[in-house]
């Protein structure tokens, strides 16, 4: 492979590049894409062990709502540090961020070199911008979107997106307008959908439809839309998603650690639904998420029918890399290792005993590789991590600053843990 500046110039057999540096015992693979995360929640991830569902009300919202510029910057840089160490070259952030918070997030992304789908949002019935009235007009919401698009325009490796909480925060009419606005501007619309039982029940009671049916009937779905979780989809909803070419983030670790169910990702693959794999801020370790993606499908859908392949390894490798890039709006620019695409890739050590002898590289990626085998993380042709250490900035300095910030934002009085530390439940 030959890289010229930020692009892959050519790719082919080793003999075609006589002047290339040899990397014996190494593999070059596309970078992983985290199709769904909440970078503002990174310091609270260890608070959720054993917690019942709907933790966004009790933990995430109280923790995130009053983040300062400096706290947002440190939180984001820490999240990107974890992500790059874990093999992610791109992350898709979800959050109802304003301009100040995003300025902090963008600064962190530029310093670390990661590729970012940035997040803005203002739900119709929220009080995210502090007006106190909890009611926002469509023109106000569109103003927030346009300001975000302008803010990201000249930020390298950063794309805008709009986030909303579906019918829980907006009328169906506003959701329609949001979708139209994103389609017109050519940007991604992120929506949590069909994630928990209370959401599905509420939608049925209020509208007589399931969440994805409601979105479809109001013209919200489409190629510019990324639905998150979709763990509680009925078969007709999968058909609507396929028909509209809507994309999905499949978040298997979130299902294992805090969810109600596992998304039917095998059905997505069978029906041609575009989907990537997201961490949902569980673990920014791409290999752990990759293993969970296959394991969840095998346990939930494969075992009952003796399906030992469960889509085969390539289904999950592609979803975590090239298909994840496409599902999150970047397919024309990055993802595959191909001439003309952005040079986003990992260099892996293949000589660890866990991965030898090698017989089936893609299955080995799914089940045996670990992040400590990542020799280098390259984004846009620039090394961001070498040997697990960042390039161009001081990890130890961030560690010291980050732990102080973490202490302040994870101890705000509004945070409520229903389960509490595991040690409290250990028998005497």
Give the single-character DSSP code of 122. -
HSE-CB at 59 with a 13 A cutoff on CA atoms is: 22
356: phi then psi, degrees, rounded to nearest 5: -125, 145
pLDDT for 417 equals 87
- Condensed to tens digits (0 to 9), the pLDDT of residues 182-202 reads 999 999 999 999 998 989 999
DSSP string, 16-69: G-TTSPP-TTEEEEEPEEEEEE-GGGGGGGGG-TT--S-HIIIIIHHHHTT--H
Q: What is the pTM of this model?
A: 0.95
Cβ 115 vs Cβ 91: under 8 Å = yes
B/e letters for 353-366, b = 16+ CB within 10 Å, e = fewer, are eebeeeeebebbbb
Handedness of CA 339, 155, 379, 320 (dihedral sign): negative
B/e letters for 411-420, b = 16+ CB within 10 Å, e = fewer, are eeeebeeeee
Closest CA to 201 of 241, 254, 248, 260: 260
pLDDT for 387 equals 96
362: phi then psi, degrees, rounded to nearest 5: -70, -40
Residue 234, sorted as left (phi over 0), alpha (psi -120 to 50) or beta, turns out to be beta
Give the single-character DSSP code of 120. B
Residue 415 in tokens: 């945070």
For residue 220, the tally of other CB atoms under 10 A from its CB is 27
- Condensed to tens digits (0 to 9), the pLDDT of residues 78-114 reads 999 999 999 999 999 999 899 999 999 999 999 999 9
pLDDT for 134 equals 57
Paired residues of 376 in beta bridges: 347, 386
Paired residues of 29 in beta bridges: 346
pLDDT for 296 equals 96
Those residues with Cβ within 8 angstroms of residue 419's Cβ, 6 or more apart along the chain or in another chain = 49, 50, 51, 52
Q: How far apart are CA 277 and CA 163, in angstroms?
A: 18
Closest CA to 285 of 363, 377, 354: 377
pLDDT for 130 equals 39
Residue 5 in tokens: 């500046």
DSSP string, 302-345: IGGGT-SSTTHHHHHHHHHTHHHHHHTT-TTTSSSS-TTSB--E
Q: How far apart are CA 381 and CA 156, in angstroms?
A: 13
Cβ 268 vs Cβ 235: under 8 Å = no
pLDDT for 126 equals 60
The CA–CA distances, whole Å, from 111 to 108, 209, 371 equal: 5, 45, 22
**Below-70 pLDDT ranges, the chain:** 124-134
pLDDT for 131 equals 41
pLDDT for 127 equals 52
For residue 223, the tally of other CB atoms under 10 A from its CB is 13
Closest CA to 374 of 359, 355, 360: 355
């Amino acid at each position: 492979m030959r890289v010229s500046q930020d692009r892959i110039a050519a790719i082919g057999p080793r003999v075609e590049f006589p002047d290339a540096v040899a990397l014996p015992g190494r593999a070059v693979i596309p970078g992983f894409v985290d199709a769904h995360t909440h970078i503002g929640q990174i310091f609270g991830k260890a608070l959720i062990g054993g917690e019942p569902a709907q933790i966004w009300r009790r933990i995430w919202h109280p923790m995130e709502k009053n983040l300062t510029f400096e706290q947002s910057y440190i939180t984001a840089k820490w999240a990107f540090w974890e992500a790059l160490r874990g093999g992610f070259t791109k992350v898709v952030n979800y959050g109802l961020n304003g301009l100040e918070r995003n300025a902090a997030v963008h600064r962190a992304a530029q310093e670390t070199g990661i590729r970012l789908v940035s997040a803005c949002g203002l739900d119709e019935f929220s009080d995210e911008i502090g007006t106190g009235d909890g009611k926002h007009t469509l023109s106000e919401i569109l103003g927030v979107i346009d300001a975000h698009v302008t803010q990201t325009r000249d930020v390298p490796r950063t794309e805008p997106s709009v986030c909303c909480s579906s019918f829980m925060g907006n009328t169906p009419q506003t959701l329609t307008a949001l979708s139209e606005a994103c389609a017109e501007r050519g940007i991604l619309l992120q929506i949590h959908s069909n994630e928990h039982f209370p959401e599905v029940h509420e939608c049925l009671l209020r509208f007589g439809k399931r969440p994805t049916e409601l979105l479809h009937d109001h013209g919200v779905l489409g190629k510019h839309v990324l639905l998150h979780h979709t763990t509680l989809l009925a078969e007709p909803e999968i058909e609507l998603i396929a028909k509209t070419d809507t994309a999905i983030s499949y978040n298997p670790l979130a299902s294992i650690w805090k969810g109600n169910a596992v998304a039917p990702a095998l059905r997505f693959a069978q029906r041609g639904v575009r989907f990537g794999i997201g961490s949902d801020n569980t673990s920014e370790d791409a290999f752990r998420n990759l293993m969970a993606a296959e394991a969840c499908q095998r346990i939930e859908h494969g075992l009952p029918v003796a399906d030992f392949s469960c889509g085969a390894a390539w289904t999950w490798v592609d979803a975590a890399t090239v298909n994840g890039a496409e599902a999150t709006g970047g397919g024309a620019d990055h993802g595959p290792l191909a001439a003309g695409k952005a040079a986003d890739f990992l260099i892996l050590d293949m000589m660890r005993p866990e991965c030898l002898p090698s017989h089936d590289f893609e299955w080995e990626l799914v089940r045996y590789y670990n992040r400590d085998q990542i020799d280098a993380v390259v984004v846009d042709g620039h090394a961001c991590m070498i040997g697990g250490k960042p390039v161009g900035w001081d990890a130890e300095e961030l560690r010291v600053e980050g732990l102080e910030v973490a202490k302040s934002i994870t101890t705000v009085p509004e945070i409520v843990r229903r389960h509490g530390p595991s040690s409290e439940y250990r028998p005497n």
